Amino acid sequence: MDKHLPDEKRYFFDKPQNVERLLRAFYAVCGLLFILDFFVHRHIYTNWEKLPGFYALYGFVAFVVLIVVSRLLRRLLTRKENYYDVDE
Amino acid sequence: MWMSELPPFIPFFLAALLALVTHGHVRSALMLTAPLLGGLHLWLDMPEGVLLSVSLLEFDLILMRSDRLSLIFGYIFHIAAFVLVIYTLHLKDTMQHIAGLIYAGSAMGAVFAGDLITLFIFWELLVISSVFLIWAGDSIRATKAGMRYLVFQISSGVLLLAGALIHYRYTGSLAFDFIGIENPGGWLILLAFGIKCAFPLLHNWLTDAYPESTPTGAAVLSIFTTKVAIYTLIRGFPGTDILIYIGAVMACFPLFYAVLENNLRRVLSYILINQLGFMVTGIGLGTALALNGAVAHAFSHILYESLLFMSMGAVLYRVGHVYASDLGGLYKTMPKTTILCIIGSASISALPLFSGFVSKSFVMTALLEEGHQYVWLALLFASAGVLYHAGIKVPYFAFFAHDSGIRTQEAPTNMIIAMLIAATLCILIGIFPQYLYALLPWDVDYWPYDTTHVIAQLQLLMFAALAFVWMEKRRYAPAQIHTTNIDAEWLYRKALPAIVSDIRSLIVHIHRTLYLLLTVLSLLMIFTRNIGTWLTGNLTEKLLVLLTIFIIAGL
């Protein structure tokens, strides 16, 4: 996986426990933000927003849709890197 | 006071002229002076409502018209020009220096142009100067991309001129104010602006040419051309309904290409279109809130988009390429560039306390006020999507991800200083948006920081990021690999040449068939007339027959 050059200083993300700590903090922030929706009084404009955690769900789903559709598009659109270089 | 009537493009053109005969520190000082003095002049001496016209062939060219709209674009263009001059100070390339100065100056000229003919002149100067920044990429790909860029941009100029003349016939005025689409001239002008603004299907000149430019050139290009187009759309076509939907398409479709694209500067080019989409939607809405949103977003966008392009320029300058598949772990050797790039990412993702947050929300709020709920959902999707590309993909794959083993050095000091200024402004605008809001052209009472809005935006972004973490752990996201992804440019780079060559071979085919038919006919005629006298006939006729046979054989 990671290439460590010999005798090189270990950097922050070279230690897996640092990555793990960062991710745990991130999960905690996500959880906190989701719970906040039930406590904070929100000024809302649309019916969509009545759903608790609407923005969280929408962000998550939007991202998944983006990736899934892109995987399908890859089959349709992706060509070799020199696709345009020939016959031009 | 005479100074207040000095059109803002003049200092840049003068500096370009002087750059021709100077070099080294003198030229550096000169290039820094132009945007600095020009900017101070604009800020201190230039009130609203200044007009300056010059007579040319019985026609009055309005070289300068200052109002709140042109002034705010003037300010940000001067700031950006100053930052980019610093960014390019290490260059020894006279051509890029001069082209860059004329390019920036032309953008000032276009923004302060008071009539359509003056606009046309600067419109063309923008093209001619900017293409040299692409050609400076100095490769066959750059040269060819530059040619395609020229074809698009010059078509835009021709459409603008034709549209202006038709508009004149209908309205009797060449003034550059509200144009609208009531007459065919207006449609042509909209199309001209649309090409420059990278409307869908007309956008490939951007994603084609910008990534081929030099490390510094792409950062310069990312600022002026498209934002001049945004300015002209705000002035000429506010409230044109069709723009709401064009903008929504622009905000969404580039996201999919940006997932697949491996060249990080091309990713940024697609993201540039996505950001323009938010502004175009705002222009289409046409309310004071939405138009202010388009202006504010253009203002902050110029800073963070150029910051991102500058950080990738720094990587390109040090490593020699910007392929996501081959980078990674650069935070170890380019820590300053990493942090500055992340600030740009946070700004473009519209994280609270960064500039994108205080400008993007105008358009979102205006969409809800005008009852466009589905367009709002589309732009919300685009907001989550942009987090992936500019927010995660660009910094993550370049600076973190798996360690590529590349060990390089930090970007040159002048590059760091330029990025630092842009990053500082991104944060200042994010924390103190009132100073930006005070410059906006329309009076609107708006404040982005209320609890609901901040929490909603944080939820949207954090959960999109959570989806990224989840997919990255499962290795579900499409791999970063060296590819070409077919876009609208396929039409003119593959389909059109194929059709042309098909037509050509069809013509050749018809030509041959006719030729063959005629020869056979003449042969038959000769034979039927002369078959009896063949043996005794004269030499000319025998030769004619032989010649015909040769011709057929030749086919």
Residues B151 and B214 in one domain: yes
Among the listed residues B209, B244, B240, B236, the one whose alpha carbon sits nearest the alpha carbon of residue B225: B209
- Residues linked to residue B175 through DSSP beta bridges, in sequence order: B115
Q: Quick check: B484 and A84 CB within 8 A?
A: yes
Displacement of CA B3 from its chain's centroid (Å) = 33
Query: How many Cβ atoms sit within 10 Å of the Cβ of residue A20?
Result: 10
Please identify which residue in the block is written with the tokens 């040090």: B318
Secondary structure class of B55 (helix, strand, coil): strand
Burial environment of residue B496 by CB neighbours within 10 A (0 to 12, 13 to 18, 19 or more): exposed
Q: Which residues in chain B are contacts of A76 at CB distance < 8 A?
A: 486
Interior CA angle at B71 toward B418 and B127, to 5°? 65
d(CA B27, CA B418): 18
**B305, B242 in Cβ contact below 8 A?**
no
Displacement of CA B69 from its chain's centroid (Å) = 21
Give, in order, the Cα–Cα distances in Å from B130 to each of B112, B146, B150, B483. 19, 9, 9, 27
End-to-end Cα, chain B, rounded Å: 81
Secondary structure class of B49 (helix, strand, coil): coil
Instruction: Please check whether residue B493 lies inside any domain of the structure.
Output: no
d(CA B527, CA B533): 10
Q: What's the confidence (pLDDT) of residue A20?
A: 86
Residues B222 and B242 in one domain: no
Give, in order, the Cα–Cα distances in Å from B336 to each of B342, B363, B514. 10, 33, 72
Query: How many Cβ atoms sit within 10 Å of the Cβ of residue B148?
Result: 17
Q: Quick check: B459 and A43 CB within 8 A?
A: no
**B203, B488 in Cβ contact below 8 A?**
yes
Q: Quick check: B471 and A46 CB within 8 A?
A: no
Interior CA angle at B373 toward B287 and B257, to 5°? 95
Range of the domain at B532: 500-554
Q: Quick check: B463 and A60 CB within 8 A?
A: yes
Q: Tell me which of B183, B207, B236 is where a domain ends.
A: B236
Amino acid (1-letter code) at residue B123? W
Q: Which residues in chain B are contacts of A3 at CB distance < 8 A?
A: 403-405
Q: Quick check: B459 and A37 CB within 8 A?
A: yes
d(CA B446, CA B456): 17
Q: How far away is chain A from the Cα of B227, in angstroms, using its nearest Cα?
A: 27
d(CA B341, CA A77): 29
Q: Quick check: B462 and A46 CB within 8 A?
A: no
Give the up-direction half-sphere exposure of residue B35: CA atoms within 13 A in the CB hemisphere.
Answer: 25
d(CA A64, CA B159): 41
Question: Is the pLDDT at A7 greater than 60, yes or no?
Answer: no
Residues B47 and B127 in one domain: yes
Residues B242 and B232 in one domain: no
Residues B282 and B417 in one domain: yes
Residues B197 and B341 in one domain: no
Residues B124 and B213 in one domain: yes
Tens digit of pLDDT per residue, chain B (555 long)?
345 678 889 899 999 999 988 888 888 998 999 999 888 888 887 777 777 788 777 778 888 888 899 999 999 999 999 999 999 999 888 899 999 999 999 999 999 999 999 999 999 999 999 999 999 988 888 999 999 999 999 999 999 999 999 999 999 888 999 999 989 999 999 999 999 999 999 999 999 999 999 999 999 999 999 999 999 999 999 999 999 999 999 999 999 999 889 999 999 999 999 999 999 999 999 999 999 999 999 999 999 999 999 999 999 999 988 888 888 889 888 999 999 999 999 999 999 999 999 999 899 999 998 989 999 999 999 999 888 887 788 888 889 887 888 888 889 999 999 999 999 999 999 999 999 999 999 988 888 888 888 888 999 999 999 998 888 888 877 778 888 888 888 888 888 888 888 888 888 888 888 888 888 887 777 777 666 555 555 666 666 666 777 666 665
Residues B229 and B259 in one domain: no
Q: How far away is chain B from the Cα of A71, in angstroms, using its nearest Cα?
A: 6
Residues B410 and B440 in one domain: yes
For an interface test with B, which of A9, A54, A70 has the most B Cβ atoms less than 10 Å from its Cβ?
A: A70
d(CA B321, CA B266): 12
DSSP characters over B71-133: HHHHHHHHHHHHHHHHHTTT---HHHHHHHHHHHHHHHHHHH--BHHHHHHHHHHHHHHHHHH
d(CA B310, CA B137): 15
* Nearest neighbour of A55 by CB, restricted to B255, B460, B466: B460
Secondary structure class of B375 (helix, strand, coil): helix
Dihedral sign for Cα B411, B415, B419, B424, please.
Answer: positive
Amino acid (1-letter code) at residue B84? L
**A13, B401 in Cβ contact below 8 A?**
no
Q: Quick check: A62 and B381 CB within 8 A?
A: yes
Amino acid (1-letter code) at residue B525? M
- Residues linked to residue B64 through DSSP beta bridges, in sequence order: B52
Residues B462 and B506 in one domain: no
For an interface test with A, which of B370, B400, B485 has the most A Cβ atoms less than 10 Å from its Cβ?
A: B485
Q: Establish, for the pair of chains A and B, how many residue pairs have beta carbons separated by less than 8 Å.
A: 152
Supply the DSSP symbol for B393.
Answer: I
For an interface test with B, which of A58, A69, A85 has the most B Cβ atoms less than 10 Å from its Cβ?
A: A58
Give, in order, the Cα–Cα distances in Å from B195 to each of B48, B149, B294, B528. 30, 11, 18, 65
Q: Which residues in chain B are contacts of A36 at CB distance < 8 A?
A: 455
Instruction: Look at chain B and report how many structural domains it folds into.
Output: 3
Among the listed residues B276, B260, B263, the one whose alpha carbon sits nearest the alpha carbon of residue B222: B276
Q: Quick check: A80 and B494 CB within 8 A?
A: no
* Nearest neighbour of B484 by CB, restricted to A4, A5, A81: A81
Give, in order, the Cα–Cα distances in Å from B32 to each of A47, B80, B89, B323. 53, 12, 9, 32
Q: Quick check: B260 and A67 CB within 8 A?
A: no
d(CA B78, CA B108): 8
Query: How many helices, marked H, and strands, marked E, lie in chain B?
Result: 22, 3
**Global pTM?**
0.88
**B436, B299 in Cβ contact below 8 A?**
yes
For an interface test with A, which of B389, B403, B475, B499 has the most A Cβ atoms less than 10 Å from its Cβ?
A: B403
Q: What's the confidence (pLDDT) of residue B2?
A: 47
Q: How far away is chain A from the Cα of B451, in angstroms, using its nearest Cα?
A: 8
**ipTM of the complex, rounded to two decimals:** 0.85
Residue positions counted in chain A: 88
Please identify which residue in the block is written with the tokens 């100074």: B3
Instruction: Please check whether residue B495 lies inside any domain of the structure.
Output: no
* Nearest neighbour of A67 by CB, restricted to B368, B465, B477: B477
Average pLDDT over residues A36-45: 76
Residues B420 and B539 in one domain: no
Instruction: Please check whether residue B132 lies inside any domain of the structure.
Output: yes
